[in-house]
C-alpha cells in the first residue's frame, strides 16, 4: 500500500542520492500520511534533509512508511497537534526505542522534535525527546545536522552537550527543574553544567523567500493542493495570540523572488493553490498578488486563502474567491464587544465587521464564517450580548449571506501577554448562552469543545511533571475525564488540574518555559498585559 501512495507524489525538489556514509535518519509525522503530507512544515523539513547527500532519510507516518533503515542514528518528529503525543510514544515503541530519553543508551538513536507545539511549550513532552529544535527550520535544521556530523562518533553525552551549544537547539535533559513542593510551583530551572547555556534562544529566519510545497499529491487532506507561505507571523499582536507573538517579527515573502516563482512552479503540476499565513491579506503587495493570480492563464485555478483580516475583505477579494471555487470566507473578530476587542488589541471597528459581510455578499460569496472567543480576561455578560447584536446587525446588512459563528474558549498560551491568566470557569456557560441566543435567530453557532480547551490549556501551561500524567492518559483515552482520572491517581505527587488550567499565575512565578526565550522579553509581555488591564479598568 505504501508504494502505491508514495508513487502518486509529484516532487517539486530534487532529492540527493545519499553518500555511502550518510546518516540513516527517520523523519516521522505522528499521524496518518494524509494529515502529515498536508503539513507544509513537515514537507519542508523532509525536503531540506533529502537534499543533503550526508543524510539518508526515510519517512514514517502512523499508517505507512518508506523502507526504514536497519540501524537508525536519528529519529525526528514534526509535531503540530498536542494530542499526537500518543502516536509519538507508539511510534517510538514500534521502533524499539525507549519512550523516556533517560532510558536510552549508546545503542539507541537520538530522538529530536520540532514544530509549532514544541516551539510553544515543549515541557510536558520534554522527557520524551533528546533534542528539541526551537524556531524556524530554515537555518536551524542544517546547523543541527552539521553539528551532529562533528560529534557523530562521540558518545551520547558529548553529542548532547555539543548540540546544546548550538543556537536554537534545546536538550531538555541538560536542565534540572526544582519545585517548591511536589504539587507546588517551579523554584528554579538550571543548566547542569557551565557548558550548557542557561537560556535557549528560539531561532528566527529573516529572509524574504518563504516556504512553498515541495510535494503535491492527491492523497493530501487538501487534495493536490500547492501551498505557498505568503507571510510569517502577524503584526497585529492580539494579546492572546500565539500565532503572532511566538513567531514575530512579521515577515513577508518577496513577490518577485518568492511568491511568483513558487506559484509558477506549483501550478505546473496542479490547479489548486492555497495561500498560507496568519494574516495573508496583510502582505503589502497583496493586491498585486491577486492581480497576478487573476491572469486568464490561471482561469481554472482553485484558490483557498488561510486567513483574512476583517477590514481587508474587499468586494474584489470576495469576487476573486467566488470565481475560483471558494464560496465562503473566514474572519476572526473574537468578540462583538468593542471593549473586549480593545482589551485584546484587536484594532477592528464594528463598522468594519458589518462592511466585511456586505462586501462578501457583493463579491458573490454565499457564506461568511466568523471566529469568536469567550472567557477573554475582562469579558462580562453584557459583552456576550454585544456579540449577539453584532451577528444580528450583520444578518440585517447582508441578507441571504449565510453567517456562522465558530466560538472557542480563551486558552492561555506561552510567550503571550495573557500567559499568566487561567481559563475562565464561566466559559462553558457563556458558550451555552450564545448558543441559546443565536440559534433561534437563524445564525449557525459552532462552539468548540470546552473540554478540549481545558486540555489545551493544561498542555499549554504544563511543566515536565506532566509526562507521568501523559503516560497514564495514553492508556485511559484522550477525553477530559481521562485526564481527571490521571490527576486523581497522581494526587499529591504533581499539582492539580486547577493549578495548570484555571489559576491566574503570579508574575513572579517561574514559568515552565522561562529558560526558552521567545521573540519578546518578559518585560515587553508584561507591558502589553498592563496596557490591556488599563483598557479593562477604563470601562
Q: State the residues that interact with ligand SF4 by CB under 6 A.
A: 234, 236-238, 241, 243-244, 278-279, 332
> Least distance to ligand SF4 from the beta carbon of 136, Å?
17
Handedness of CA 502, 508, 514, 517 (dihedral sign): positive
- Please state the closest distance from residue 85 (CB atom) to ligand SF4, in A: 25
Nearer to ligand SF4, 243 or 466 (CB): 243
Closer of 276 and 332 to ligand SF4 (Cβ): 332
Q: Which is nearer to ligand SF4, 62 or 279 (CB)?
A: 279
- For ligand SF4, the closer CB: 110 or 237: 237
Q: Which residues contact 426 (CB under 8 A, 6 or more apart)?
A: 375
Other C-beta atoms within 10 Å of 412: how many? Answer: 22
**CB closer to ligand SF4 out of 234 and 388:** 234
Least distance between ligand SF4 and beta carbon 122 (Å): 21
Q: How far is the CB of 235 from ligand SF4 (least distance, A)?
A: 7
Helix 40-50 and helix 137-150, axial crossing angle in degrees, nearest 10 = 40
Bridge partners of 203? 135
83 CB neighbour count, 10 Å cutoff? 16
Beta carbon nearer to ligand SF4, 180 or 446:
446
| List of residues 6+ apart from 150 with CB closer than 8 A | 162
- In this structure, are strands 10-11 and 215-216 parallel, antiparallel, or unpaired? antiparallel
Nearer to ligand SF4, 229 or 236 (CB): 236
- Rounded Cα distance between 58 and 63, Å, is 14
In whole angstroms, the minimum distance from the beta carbon of 208 to ligand SF4 comes to: 20
Count helices and strands (H / E) in the chain. 20, 21
Residues 6 or more apart whose Cβ sits within 8 Å of residue 351: none
Tell me the three cell numbers of residue 198: 542557561
Q: Tell me the closest approach of the beta carbon of residue 252 to ligand SF4, in angstroms.
A: 14
Quote the cell numbers at residue 367.
Answer: 457564506
Residue placing its CB nearer to ligand SF4 in the complex, 78 or 279? 279
CB 309 to ligand SF4: min, Å: 6
Phi, psi of 410 (to 5 degrees): -60, 130
- Shortest Å distance, C-beta 133 to ligand SF4: 23
Q: ∠ CA 212-216-222 to the nearest 5 degrees?
A: 95
> Minimal distance in Å, beta carbon 524 to ligand SF4?
15
Report the nearest approach of ligand SF4 to the CB of residue 499 (Å).
Answer: 27
Cell 502512523: give the residue: 62
Sheet architecture: strand order including 328-334? 328-334, 367-374, 402-409, 444-447
Separation of first and last alpha carbons in the chain:
61
- Identity of the residue, 47 or 279, whose beta carbon is nearer to ligand SF4 in the bound complex: 279
Residue nearer to ligand SF4 on the CB measure, 57 or 332: 332
Q: What is the DSSP string of 98-149?
A: -SSGGG--TTSPEEEEESHHHHH--GGGGGG-SEEE-B-HHHHHHHHHHHHH
Amino acid at each position: 500500500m505504501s508504494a502505491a501512495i508514495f508513487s502518486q507524489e509529484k516532487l517539486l525538489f530534487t532529492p540527493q542520492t545519499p553518500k555511502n556514509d550518510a546518516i540513516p535518519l527517520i523523519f516521522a509525522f505522528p499521524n496518518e500520511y494524509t494529515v502529515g503530507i498536508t503539513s507544509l512544515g513537515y514537507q519542508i523539513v523532509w525536503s531540506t534533509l533529502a537534499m543533503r547527500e550526508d543524510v539518508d532519510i526515510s519517512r514514517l507516518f502512523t499508517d505507512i512508511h518508506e523502507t526504514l533503515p536497519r540501524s537508525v542514528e536519528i529519529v525526528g518528529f514534526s509535531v503540530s497537534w498536542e494530542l499526537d503525543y500518543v502516536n509519538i510514544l507508539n511510534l517510538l515503541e514500534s521502533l524499539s526505542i525507549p519512550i523516556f530519553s533517560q532510558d536510552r543508551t549508546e545503542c539507541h538513536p537520538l530522538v529530536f522534535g520540532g514544530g509549532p507545539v514544541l516551539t510553544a511549550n515543549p515541557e510536558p513532552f520534554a522527557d520524551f525527546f533528546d533534542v528539541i529544535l526551537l524556531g524556524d527550520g530554515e537555518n536551524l535544521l542544517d546547523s543541527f545536522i552539521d553539528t551532529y556530523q562533528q560529534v557523530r562518533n562521540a558518545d551520547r553525552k558529548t553529542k548532547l552537550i555539543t548540540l546544546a551549544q548550538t543556537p536554537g537547539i534545546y536538550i531538555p535533559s541538560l536542565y534540572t527543574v526544582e519545585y517548591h513542593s511536589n504539587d507546588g510551583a517551579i523554584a528554579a530551572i538550571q543548566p547542569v553544567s557551565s557548558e550548557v547555556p542557561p537560556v535557549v534562544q528560539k531561532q528566527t529566519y529573516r529572509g524574504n523567500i518563504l516556504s512553498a510545497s515541495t510535494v503535491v499529491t492527491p492523497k493530501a487532506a487538501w487534495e493536490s493542493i500547492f501551498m505557498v507561505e505568503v507571510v510569517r507571523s502577524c503584526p497585529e499582536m492580539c494579546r492572546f495570540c500565539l500565532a503572532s507573538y511566538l513567531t514575530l517579527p512579521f515577515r513577508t515573502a518577496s513577490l518577485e523572488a518568492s511568491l511568483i516563482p513558487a506559484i509558477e512552479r506549483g501550478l505546473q503540476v496542479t490547479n489548486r493553490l492555497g495561500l498560507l499565513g496568519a494574516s495573508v491579506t496583510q502582505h503589502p503587495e497583496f493586491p498585486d498578488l491577486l492581480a497576478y493570480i487573476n491572469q486568464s492563464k490561471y482561469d481554472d485555478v482553485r484558490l483557498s486563502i488561510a486567513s483574512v483580516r476583517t477590514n481587508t475583505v474587499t468586494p474584489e477579494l470576495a469576487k476573486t474567491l467566488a470565481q475560483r471555487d471558494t464560496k465562503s470566507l473566514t474572519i476572526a473578530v473574537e468578540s462583538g464587544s468593542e471593549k473586549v476587542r480593545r482589551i485584546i488589541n484587536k484594532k477592528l471597528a464594528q463598522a468594519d465587521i458589518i462592511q466585511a459581510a456586505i462586501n462578501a455578499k457583493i463579491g458573490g460569496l454565499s457564506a461568511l464564517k466568523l471566529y469568536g472567543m469567550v472567557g477573554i480576561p475582562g469579558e462580562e455578560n453584557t459583552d456576550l450580548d454585544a456579540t449577539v447584536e453584532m451577528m444580528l446587525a450583520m444578518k440585517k446588512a447582508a441578507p441571504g449571506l449565510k453567517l456562522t459563528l465558530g466560538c472557542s474558549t480563551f486558552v492561555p498560551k506561552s510567550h503571550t501577554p495573557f500567559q499568566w491568566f487561567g481559563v475562565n470557569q464561566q466559559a462553558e456557560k457563556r458558550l451555552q448562552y450564545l448558543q441559546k441566543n443565536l440559534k433561534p435567530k437563524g445564525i449557525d453557532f459552532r462552539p468548540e469543545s470546552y473540554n478540549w480547551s481545558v486540555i489545551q490549556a493544561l498542555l499549554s501551561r504544563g511543566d515536565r511533571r506532566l509526562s507521568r500524567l501523559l503516560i497514564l492518559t495514553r492508556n485511559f483515552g484522550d477525553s477530559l475525564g481521562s485526564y481527571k482520572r490521571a490527576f486523581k491517581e497522581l494526587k499529591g505527587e504533581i499539582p492539580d488540574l486547577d493549578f495548570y488550567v484555571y489559576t491566574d499565575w503570579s508574575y513572579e512565578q517561574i514559568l515552565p518555559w522561562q529558560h526558552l526565550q521567545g521573540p519578546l522579553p518578559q518585560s515587553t509581555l508584561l507591558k502589553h498585559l498592563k496596557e490591556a488591564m488599563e483598557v479593562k479598568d477604563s470601562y
